[in-house]
Structure 1
Amino acid sequence: MKTIGLIGGMSWESSAEYYRLLNQLVRERLGGLHSARCILHSVDFAEIERLQVSGEWEQAGEVLAEAARGLAAAGADLLLICTNTMHKVAGQVRDAVPVPLLHLGDATAEAVRAAGLKTVGLLGTAFTMEQTFYRDRLAEHGLTVLIPEARERAEVHRIIYEELCLGVVEDGSRAAYRRVIDQLVADGAEGVVLGCTEIELLIGQEHSPVPVFPTTRLHAEAAVTAALSGT
């Protein structure tokens, strides 16, 4: 079994979900008492969030690149950035290490295509929804990506940072997300990408009239498949 390196802490709520899923998936595939071989570098999210807001992406990328170098030196065979938003600096992280980086957007797009869908709605932080780094990655796989209108994007973003990243899960916020999903479907979305690792704490398939694509689980599944290749 290969060792999975996790760049986490953004937020630690979702990193805990990554850890749970990786171990659960390995046990499901290998049985018995098997669990995932993994190494976690958990950053201080307050530092990263400050750099996000101020637009200092290169500096934020160096923080993650340094974490990646440490994980590779510690024996990681492959790396995950455990957040959608920070895939904006995925290239910077990938170039810093000699081991492969599994891109979350690729794992998600492959699942969408396997489901036979071409048009998806995207929920995530404002950075993920409004900037092109993530939408373009999905588009490279032949997908059309829809995003909510500005007021809805602001509410989706607020709930992530002010509630979900703090472990707060509110029924009212779930209802707000369901309204946004319904509008995306009305606009033509055949499925919805839960493009922020914390959203899976709030929204499941039962809350959407179309297929949802939980990026944390999809990323973890891809990592376990890679880690067990040849096992």
Structure 2
Amino acid sequence: MSNANNHTINDDIPTLSGAVLLAQAPANIQCQITHHIESTGARVTLVENGQQVLEQTLNADFDLILMSINMPVLDGIETLKGLRQLGNNTAVYALTSEATAKGKDEFSQQGFKGGLVYPIELPKLYAVLQSHLRSPQQTKSPKNAQSDSLKAKIAELKPIFLASLRTQFGQLNEHIERRDFAQIIKILHIVKGSAGNFGYNNLTDVANSALVSLRLQQFDDAPALLAKVMVCIDKILNGKESCDTKN
């Protein structure tokens, strides 16, 4: 007979509140993890490399970070070191394939809270989420206003963001020509999640509109919305601090 009072996690979806940063999982697995996390009620921000992890955590609070060991720009271990140097003590779990999986002790020795192995087992994922996210009844103190030093850090990282945006601009061009909507969605999610941190709220808005259209498979509307995204990025890359696509 099962014990109704125990804390064993099963495949039932928990109801949670909080923010998760997901970094550079393989595309198919990334979609699955995002779906399972969002199904709990939690929010997911996607990034594609270690540098973007640092950028995101400078300007937003996350309850949990899941990131691949083998990321470009900065790998998982170097990114974790960077987070700790910035004074960020958010729980970080390593994502890795079975072939490269390390033992729990090895992850702990490197500073990770733990590890999740592809393919991700739902009970283990939900257990991790429940350990670090909140139930809807729980509250969290609001984020303090940015300090001068934090603002200086964001200003320091802005050129790196713009360099990444230039790369994403080229990638979007290629994927739009190929009508590779899966890759377009992935890039738009990253752009939407990072642009606002550097003051480009218009880009966040147009990227979100295009993203929603593609997720709803409203492909007739997609070309015009994607064109707005590309115009907006082009203006930013050419030195404009905002991008009103109506002009």
TM-score of the superposition, structure 1-length normalised?
Answer: 0.31
TM-score of the superposition, structure 2-length normalised?
Answer: 0.30
Q: Higher RCO, 1 or 2 (CA under 8 Å, sep at least 6)?
A: 1
